[in-house]
Amino acid sequence: QVQLVESGGGLVQAGDSLRLSCTASGGGFNGLSMGWFRQAPGKLREFVALITWPGGYEKYAHSVKGRFSISRDNTNLTVYLQMNSLKPEDAAIYYCAASYKWIPSTQGEYDLWGQGTQVTISS
């Protein structure tokens, strides 16, 4: 069973950059499209970004387009979320998720989830 572990969260100032990582272990990374989601206090979990297997197609939430970038290193079983020009409203727990569907369209189409990493932003 593939397990996902996120890292890279922390406390930064508005305008700073941060890179999150999500590493898969315990099974194959092949064929998995990878997504990032986030959940702020009192809000529903929302989609942030998607990168398909093996790469080449990316999709972003409107709120992060142009500031965030998703990428993957299939050799090292890792997906990244580069977050630039961070805003206070980007503060949330960020979750990595994996789907065997090439372009999952709902959260329910993701098969595996990480435990999340906290991103806190001071203004």
Residue range 30-73, pLDDT digits in tens:
899 999 999 999 999 999 999 999 998 999 999 999 999 999 99
pLDDT at site 20: 98
pLDDT at site 28: 76
pLDDT at site 1: 83
Q: Tell me how far apart the alpha carbons of residues 13 and 66 are, in angstroms, rounded to a whole number.
A: 19
- Reply yes or no on whether the pLDDT at 27 is more than 80: no
pLDDT at site 30: 87
How far apart, in Å, do the first and last CA atoms of the chain sit? 40
DSSP states along 70-87: EEEETTTTEEEEEE-S--
| CA dihedral for 95, 76, 71, 29, sign (positive or negative) | negative
Average pLDDT taken over every residue of the chain: 96
Given phi > 0 = left and psi -120 to 50 = alpha, else beta, which region is 42? left
Is residue 7 within 8 A of residue 116, CB to CB? The reply is no
Q: Tell me how far apart the alpha carbons of residues 119 and 39 are, in angstroms, rounded to a whole number.
A: 10
